[in-house]
């Protein structure tokens, strides 16, 4: 069953009924000001940091789940025989049945359209590029054959900035809410009424230099800023008294719950249309110029008014919307494909690229599953996210790499998380997740391959943000590798620390008290438990380092080390040594083992009754090249297919843990089939797809790709339940009663890794140091495909034809045969290269 359809032409998903199984959301904003918006106009907005600068309030885990947002109410002031007195054109919160409904989630905007009793409404929500404000552009059309007299109400609830405080500190919050209400005089339209602009200025009197504004383009019939006055006592957003009565009360909030609500009266002739613009925004004033006059408590509006006035005009709104579309055209034009599979095309060309940008902007902070007040930015997560969007915005990738590197510790380890506003490492979580540093090596090498920007290696970057500790970035990478060499366990495998990629495999935390953290309560010395996963990741990273070292040159004069500079051979040796340890202690006969616990017992082996085989080491060890030459890679992948694959994706391990194991930790805290306990943790599936391409099995790789591809799962929407246009972190595994149900959509490493798996490995278009590589491992039934890929300023127009069923590639660039499968960069000045590829 479906709840909508893809409109690929317009890059939109069109939701055709409001009662989707879960709220299906979209994101607004691209740089500093962001919003989340559901298909029924729920959601909230924030400036930069979802916790510390929250503009509007949102209650998680509410009933109904999605209540509160950017609501508009319509009221028939002259009751119409075929319609209700009042309704929500976005269906929620009033839930009056609509004659028609449609929500179009597009690239950075959402349009909700509906019709009831001859009144059509269309609201376009978006955030202009480079602006700290959002626009709700409402267009009403009267399809009746009489005049329509309507009251339009807009409503939102302000958050008192710090979202955590806002949801907890009521003894203070109920007394501090403040607003200011003032008229607007628009040039050429004369003075306007009171309430045109509602300013939310809680705490502006003291240390804040910022406030929010909520403005309307039309003369008002009234306004409200006090929630109780608008809703009426004991009422909710589904039945505001002001809407019922057809009149707001010009309330001024003093404490309690400040809101913004405008009331506009509209008289529409038959066939007439009218557009009303609502603006919600964030503004900062200089600390010493906050008030006007200076000795008053009145907000200085000199710099904000021009912004408000500008965006209350339809022309500016149209222009800003066109600019937003150009921005996305530019980004999404960096890589487009035309393959025989619609789901592949749609995800690469539109939704996967979009999701990757959203994960870049949000990390794991704000979604309908992440409350915006929890985690900061993960070191491991953000490094992996980088792999997906490097080619879209290389400058911001560079900046992100530098920020992340500055939270590395002198040992080579890293803070597991940092806070985006301060860019400092987070002490509560600390460090000691022993996989963390290696992801930095993967991110940096991927960045250089994409951009050719070798200068990044010489950037001086501190450790733990301590001034004076700067070394070149290159040395940070060396220390990343060294970190593991300094932490080897009894078998010579890397010690796991608090956890490796699997945050929930906590082998050094024997947690038996309620409420204890699984990750930070470390009560074992940590000198025994080892990770085969980190071993594989280490081999991968060390090989990347070896290649980097050989190119940078052992004695590159740019690099002034404080740490011994190692030649390429050093890293190759280290990788080879680790490989042989993996074969000795990490290979189980038919698959790679997972770990050794604190007692030195193996995990992920036929010796185990639960947790016999895990997905992560199969993926990462093969990606690192293990077993490619002697058939052991195929063997491992065959085991994955037999033991772990399901029609809904590949589960994390089998058998699931049926009880809590003190020595394994959080992984066994989840009921079987959910999350890390044998759920389909989608992040890991693309590793297997990549591994399958490395052993040349394109059919199998693409089959796995389609199992979790959200578009390919659209027809299962009542089972999948999350949005069919973006990946979710998890799909319930086969041990769960809800097998196939997705959770935690949007903010997941799944986005970047699937993008990498499909574009770089299955379609095989891979950036390398020396040029763009084209090495597709595609399904045998495909006749070929086409792709456009921008790479270092050159547009590659790639045409692939299948002439046999294997993966052997013959390549021509601009009509000339190329040796191997890497197209050398064209001479300076050549901006386009035509590539013909035969795959036999
Ligand atoms: C979450 C974390 C990620 C971790 C994964 C597996 O997605 O953000 O860092 O690797 O869970 O535990
Ligand atoms: C929990 C989750 C895991 C996530 C971690 C973040 O352990 O199961 O997916 O990575 O929290 O701290």
Span 425-450, mean pLDDT?
Answer: 96
Is residue 823 pLDDT above 90, yes or no? yes
Query: Angle 373-400-348 (CA atoms, 0-180°, nearest 5)?
Result: 90
Is residue 394 pLDDT above 80, yes or no? yes
Tens digit of pLDDT for each residue in 829-839?
999 999 999 99
Q: For the residues of 709-742, what is the DSSP string, one character each?
A: -TGGGGGGHHHH-S-TTS-EEEE--TTSTTTT-E
Closest-CA residue, ligand 1 atom 1, reads: 503
Residue 144 CA, ligand 2 centroid: distance in Å? 54
Report helix, strand and coil shares of the chain as percent, to nearest 5: 30, 25, 45
Record the pTM.
Answer: 0.97
Residue 692 CA, ligand 1 centroid: distance in Å? 23
Residue 667 CA, ligand 2 centroid: distance in Å? 9
pLDDT band at 731 (very low <50, low <70, confident <90, very high): very high
pLDDT band at 189 (very low <50, low <70, confident <90, very high): very low
- 505 is written with which tokens? 């495999």
- With a 6 Å cutoff on the Cβ, whether 375 touches ligand 1 is no
Please state which of the ranges 234-248, 382-396, 693-707, 714-728 shows the lowest mean pLDDT: 382-396
Q: What is the pLDDT of residue 82?
A: 86
Span 757-783, mean pLDDT?
Answer: 98
Closest ligand to 614 CA? 1
Catalytic status, residue 19: no
Span 280-303, mean pLDDT?
Answer: 96
Q: What is the pLDDT of residue 422?
A: 82
Ligand 1 atom closest to the CA of 676, numbered from 1? 12
Tens digit of pLDDT for each residue in 4-42?
999 999 999 999 999 999 999 999 999 999 999 999 999
Q: What is the pLDDT of residue 556?
A: 56
Q: What is the pLDDT of residue 492?
A: 98
Ligand 1 atom closest to the CA of 378, numbered from 1? 9
Q: What is the pLDDT of residue 702?
A: 98
Q: What is the pLDDT of residue 366?
A: 95
- With a 6 Å cutoff on the Cβ, whether 676 touches ligand 1 is yes
Task: Single out the residue of 152, 128, 124, 127 nearest to residue 136, CA to CA.
Answer: 124
Ligand 2 atom closest to the CA of 676, numbered from 1? 8
Give exposure, 660-697, as e/b (b: 16+ Cβ within 10 Å): ebebbbbbbbbbbbbbbbbbbbbbbbbbbbbbbbbbeb
Span 646-660, mean pLDDT?
Answer: 98
pLDDT band at 184 (very low <50, low <70, confident <90, very high): low
Is residue 553 pLDDT above 80, yes or no? no
Tens digit of pLDDT for each residue in 317-355?
999 999 999 999 999 999 999 999 999 999 999 999 999
On the CB side of 218, CA atoms within 13 Å amount to 22
Ligand 2 atom closest to the CA of 429, numbered from 1? 12
Q: What is the pLDDT of residue 193?
A: 53
Q: Which residues contact 637 (CB under 8 A, 6 or more apart)?
A: 618, 622, 688, 691, 692, 695, 697, 700
Ligand 2, pocket-test mutation among 369, 676, 684, 732, most atoms within 8 A of CB: 676
Residue 95 CA, ligand 2 centroid: distance in Å? 35
Please state which of the ranges 90-99, 192-201, 454-463, 805-814 shows the lowest mean pLDDT: 192-201
Give the percent of the chain with pLDDT over 70.
98
- With a 6 Å cutoff on the Cβ, whether 435 touches ligand 1 is no
Residue ranges around ligand 2 (CB below 6 Å): 503-504, 666, 675-676
Residue 145 CA, ligand 2 centroid: distance in Å? 58
pLDDT band at 564 (very low <50, low <70, confident <90, very high): confident
- With a 6 Å cutoff on the Cβ, whether 502 touches ligand 1 is yes
Tens digit of pLDDT for each residue in 573-597?
999 999 999 999 999 999 999 999 9
Tens digit of pLDDT for each residue in 668-691?
999 999 999 999 999 999 999 999
Question: What's the mean pLDDT when you consider all of the chain?
Answer: 96
Q: What is the pLDDT of residue 194?
A: 53
Closest ligand to 381 CA? 1
Q: Is 567 exposed, middle or buried (0-12, 13-18, 19+ CB in 10 A)?
A: middle
Ligand 1 atom closest to the CA of 499, numbered from 1? 12
Residue 579 CA, ligand 2 centroid: distance in Å? 29
Ligand 1 atom closest to the CA of 375, numbered from 1? 8
Residue 328 CA, ligand 2 centroid: distance in Å? 32
Query: Angle 343-346-348 (CA atoms, 0-180°, nearest 5)?
Result: 105
Span 140-152, mean pLDDT?
Answer: 97
Closest ligand to 533 CA? 1
- With a 6 Å cutoff on the Cβ, whether 381 touches ligand 1 is yes
- With a 6 Å cutoff on the Cβ, whether 380 touches ligand 1 is yes
Tens digit of pLDDT for each residue in 55-75?
999 999 999 999 999 999 999
* Cα 107 from Cα 691, distance rounded (Å): 32
- 631 is written with which tokens? 């058939």
Kindly name the residue from 76, 196, 503, 588 that is annotated as catalytic. Answer: 503
Residue 756 CA, ligand 1 centroid: distance in Å? 18
Closest-CA residue, ligand 2 atom 5, reads: 503
Q: What is the pLDDT of residue 190?
A: 46
Closest ligand to 428 CA? 2
3-state secondary structure of 391: coil
189/171: higher pLDDT: 171
Ligand 1 atom closest to the CA of 505, numbered from 1? 12
Is residue 559 pLDDT above 80, yes or no? no
pLDDT band at 356 (very low <50, low <70, confident <90, very high): very high
Q: What is the pLDDT of residue 417?
A: 92
Q: Which residues contact 379 (CB under 8 A, 6 or more apart)?
A: 404, 407, 414, 415, 416, 417, 418, 433, 436, 439, 440
Ligand 1, pocket-test mutation among 362, 381, 437, 497, most atoms within 8 A of CB: 381
* Residue spans of beta strands (DSSP E) within 222-270: 222-226, 258-268
């Amino acid at each position: 069953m479906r709840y909508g359809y893809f409109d690929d032409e317009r890059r939109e998903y069109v939701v055709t009924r409001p009662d989707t199984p879960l709220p299906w959301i979209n994101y607004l904003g691209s740089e500093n000001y962001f919003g989340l918006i559901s298909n029924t106009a729920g959601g909230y907005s924030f400036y930069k940091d979802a916790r510390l600068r929250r503009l509007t309030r949102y209650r998680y885990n509410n009933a109904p789940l999605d209540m509160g947002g950017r609501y508009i109410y319509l009221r028939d002031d002259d009751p119409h025989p075929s319609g209700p007195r009042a309704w929500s054109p976005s269906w929620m919160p009033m839930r009056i049945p609509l004659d028609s409904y449609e929500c179009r989630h597009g690239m950075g905007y959402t349009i909700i359209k509906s019709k009831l009793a001859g009144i059509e409404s269309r609201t376009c929500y978006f955030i202009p590029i480079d602006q700290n404000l959002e626009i709700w552009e409402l267009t009403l059309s009267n399809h009746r054959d009489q005049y329509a007299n309507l009251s339009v109400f807009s409503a939102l609830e302000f958050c008192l900035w710090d979202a955590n405080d806002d949801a907890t500190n009521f003894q203070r919050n109920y007394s501090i809410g403040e607003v200011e209400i003032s008229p607007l005089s628009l040039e050429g339209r004369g003075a306007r009424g009171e309430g045109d602009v509602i300013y939310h200025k809680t705490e502006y009197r003291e240390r804040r230099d910022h406030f929010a504004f909520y403005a309307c383009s039309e003369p008002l019939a009234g306004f409200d800023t006090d929630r109780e006055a608008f809703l009426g006592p004991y009422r909710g957003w589904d039945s505001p008294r002001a809407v019922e009565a057809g009149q707001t009360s010009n309330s001024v909030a003093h404490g309690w719950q400040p809101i913004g609500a405008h009331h506009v009266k509209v008289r529409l002739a038959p066939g007439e249309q009218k557009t009303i613009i609502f603006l919600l925004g964030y503004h900062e004033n200089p600390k010493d110029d906050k008030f006007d006059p200076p000795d008053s408590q009145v907000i200085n509006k000199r710099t904000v008014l021009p912004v408000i006035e500008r965006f209350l005009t339809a022309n500016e709104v149209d222009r800003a919307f066109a600019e937003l579309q150009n921005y996305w055209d530019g980004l999404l034009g960096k890589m487009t494909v035309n393959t025989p599979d619609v789901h592949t095309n749609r995800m690469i060309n539109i939704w996967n690229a979009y999701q990757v940008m959203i994960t870049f902007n949000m990390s794991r902070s704000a979604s309908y599953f992440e409350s915006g007040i929890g985690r900061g930015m993960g070191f491991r997560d953000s490094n992996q996210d980088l792999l997906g969007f490097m080619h879209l915005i290389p400058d911001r990738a560079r900046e992100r790499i530098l920020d992340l590197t500055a939270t590395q510790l002198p040992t080579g380890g890293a803070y597991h998380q940092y806070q985006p506003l301060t860019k400092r490492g987070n002490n509560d979580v600390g460090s000691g997740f022993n996989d963390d540093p290696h992801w930095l090596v993967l991110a940096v090498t991927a960045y250089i391959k994409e951009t050719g920007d070798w200068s990044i290696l010489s950037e001086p970057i501190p450790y733990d943000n301590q001034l004076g500790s700067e070394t070149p970035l290159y040395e940070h990478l060396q220390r990343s590798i060294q970190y593991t060499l300094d932490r080897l366990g009894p078998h010579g495998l890397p010690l796991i620390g608090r956890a490796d990629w699997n945050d929930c495999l906590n082998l050094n935390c024997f947690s038996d008290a309620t409420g204890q953290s699984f990750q930070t309560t470390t009560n074992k010395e940590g000198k025994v438990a080892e990770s085969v996963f980190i071993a594989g990741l280490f081999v991968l990273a060390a090989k990347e380092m070896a290649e980097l070292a050989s190119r940078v040159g052992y004695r590159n004069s740019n690099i002034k080390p404080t740490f011994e500079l190692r030649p390429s051979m050093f890293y190759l040796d280290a990788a080879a040594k680790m490989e042989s340890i993996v074969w000795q202690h990490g290979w189980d006969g038919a698959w790679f083992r997972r770990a050794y616990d604190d007692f030195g017992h193996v995990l992920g082996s036929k010796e185990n009754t639960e947790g016999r085989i895990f997905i992560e080491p199969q993926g990462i060890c093969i990606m690192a090249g293990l077993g490619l030459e002697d058939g052991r890679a195929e063997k491992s992948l065959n085991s994955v297919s037999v033991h772990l694959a399901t029609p809904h994706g590949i589960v994390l391990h089998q058998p699931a843990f049926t009880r809590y194991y003190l020595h394994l930790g959080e992984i066994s805290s989840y009921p079987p089939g959910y999350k890390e306990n044998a759920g389909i943790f989608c992040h890991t599936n693309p590793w297997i797809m990549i591994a399958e391409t490395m052993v040349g099995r394109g059919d199998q790789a693409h089959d796995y790709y389609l199992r979790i591809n959200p578009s390919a799962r659209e027809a299962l929407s009542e089972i999948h339940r999350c949005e069919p246009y973006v990946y979710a972190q998890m799909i319930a595994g086969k041990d769960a009663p809800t097998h196939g149900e997705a959770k935690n959509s949007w903010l997941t490493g799944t986005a970047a890794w699937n993008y990498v798996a499909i574009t770089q490995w299955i379609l095989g278009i891979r950036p390398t140091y020396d040029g763009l590589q084209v090495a597709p491992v595609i399904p045998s039934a495909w006749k070929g495909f086409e792709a456009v890929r921008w790479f270092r300023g050159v547009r590659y127009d790639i045409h692939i034809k299948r002439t046999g069923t294997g993966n052997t590639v013959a390549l021509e660039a601009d009509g000339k045969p190329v040796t191997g499968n890497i197209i050398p960069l064209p001479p300076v000045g050549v901006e386009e290269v035509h590539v013909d590829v035969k795959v036999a």
